[in-house]
Structure 1
């Protein structure tokens, strides 16, 4: 025991040395903690390999594209609440458009759209390039006619013996000045796709047929025997059946079916005007082939 106690006996000088040693160690520990916390909070640039940075940038671009709402051309007269929201319009601006439309009027230009909705110049500049105004919106009210009378054929045709536009051959069409082999074949092909012409004015819709040439054709030919068209029921037809109609593209046919599924049924053919990218300028023509 005496030997064990002798190991813990220190004189005054030794005790002072031990005290200063412990104090020195404590100061070192405190200094290390302070320095370490400072190092954690210090911002250092992160050095990344250039190839790895390229991969990061490409992933950011993909994410940005996925988050971006793609806007297609549309008729601004039929902007829904959701469509207006995605375009950046306020609820008040959308409501103003809807109140205006309830008066059975249409906006016919980007300027009129701004006058009605009071949207800002900056927003108009962004969305107006996507505006798609049909031809009939140049009028205040749209009243579809049963048969279009836009094209005036020579009125003095009482004594002319017309040939039937639905039974004539390509060779017979080529007697008209301006109608060659390719154009006559194109007219016959278009007639076949239609299932036969229902009205004379459908001739003006033949691809690359000049209006003046079409007028010359109608001086000798017109629809005499109309084809027996089985109308497509808009409430039961599939997207494929609708797309077989020459005036309706596949994407529009799919949107019609989606609209019908969301609303239960289509009660009026004029409801089709609400469909995005629907060829509204040909609604009177399309009505000849559809039923409810």
Structure 2
């Protein structure tokens, strides 16, 4: 085959041959560097990454501890065993239902043996459950508990009957001491202190209806107070001059507060003097249900 027509394409000058040879040398050097040099980047150490790894190690350790540790078993009163707990301990549905039916009759088991008699569980299951039973004292001796309960009720009824038989002396609530208030059935140290505090805030009580405003007094206790006390308005009561009192003086009155006191001052400036409680009742926010009591503290 004649390659002479192609020979002209392979004729290079001296400079071209030098360039080709130099390019070949460069390619060989680069190939050698590529195969033998390590171009991997050095791994940088980040403080946050180390902290996360440390935390993850601690979490894994805690999980492993939780998986390996044995669950704690607590004592319980078998009278209040739930369906779920009974099932977990190995009781059948019928055995649990027998106990629930027994409890619906307001009865209690007071021993492991009685528990077995009621539920009909096997001896093997009882040997597993019995060490977990914890019976309260009153189920251990139900007869004594009932006797003590009856005795307590009898004594309470006796106290009430004797209290009712005593002659009731009606006192002025504004003159009553803490000891006087505590003599009323249902009132202790806390409630008596609360009543005296309310009297101090108001200056005095003007009606026994104000006992309903004392927090914590039940309707029964309020009735007892009405039986033993009455409200006598003292002549020294300093009434509030409704037409001359400042906003601050009106807002300090327990039945007004700041918003209503401001409304009263505005009403005075626009309509003149307030003549009676009926005029006050026209003001927005006025407690109409307390109008009679409030009027006894005011001077028109």
Asked which structure has the greater CA Rg, the reply is 2
TM-score category of the 2 structures, normalised to the smaller one: 0.3 to 0.5
TM-score by length of 1: 0.43
TM-score by length of 2: 0.42
Quick one: higher RCO (CA 8 Å, sep 6+), 1 or 2?
1
